[in-house]
Amino acid sequence: NAGVTQTPKFQVLKTGQSMTLQCAQDMNHEYMSWYRQDPGMGLRLIHYSVGAGITDQGEVPNGYNVSRSTTEDFPLRLLSAAPSQTSVYFCASSLREDYGYTFGSGTRLTVV
């Protein structure tokens, strides 16, 4: 039981490049979310999903796309990377509304 797996752990992008951050969970959790955490700050919700085929925007969705074709996977796509997207990205999953979230170990992204 691996929990929530995020890849890659580190990434450096040039401005304008695109990439996909991968997130997979093996706990059959319905809820999945993407957060970003900037230095010394809290977690801001980017996008979330309550099940396969269902996604919605969080607080800071601009510049990011998501899809949820399976229960297990919830990839986050950066369309055209900008320096403002330099951050640590966390994927999290939960069984349902009244359960806590299990977080992945994060992806540290630098955009130069």
Which residues contact other proteins (rule: CB under 8 A)? Answer: 30-31, 33, 35, 41-45, 48-50, 56, 58-59, 90, 92, 94, 97-106
Of 33 and 71, the one with the shorter C-beta distance to other proteins is 33
For residue 109, give both structure tokens.
């992204």
Distance in Å, CB of 43 to other proteins, minimum: 4
Distance in Å, CB of 94 to other proteins, minimum: 8
Q: Measured between alpha carbons, how far is 89 from 69 in angstroms, rounded to an integer?
A: 20
Where in 3-106 does DSSP place strands (E)? Answer: 4-7, 10-13, 19-25, 31-37, 43-51, 54-57, 64-66, 76-78, 87-94, 102-103
All residues at 6 or more sequence positions from 38 whose CB lies less than 8 Å from its CB, including other chains = 44, 87, 88
Distance in Å, CB of 64 to other proteins, minimum: 16
Distance in Å, CB of 17 to other proteins, minimum: 25
Of 30 and 73, the one with the shorter C-beta distance to other proteins is 30
Of 49 and 85, the one with the shorter C-beta distance to other proteins is 49
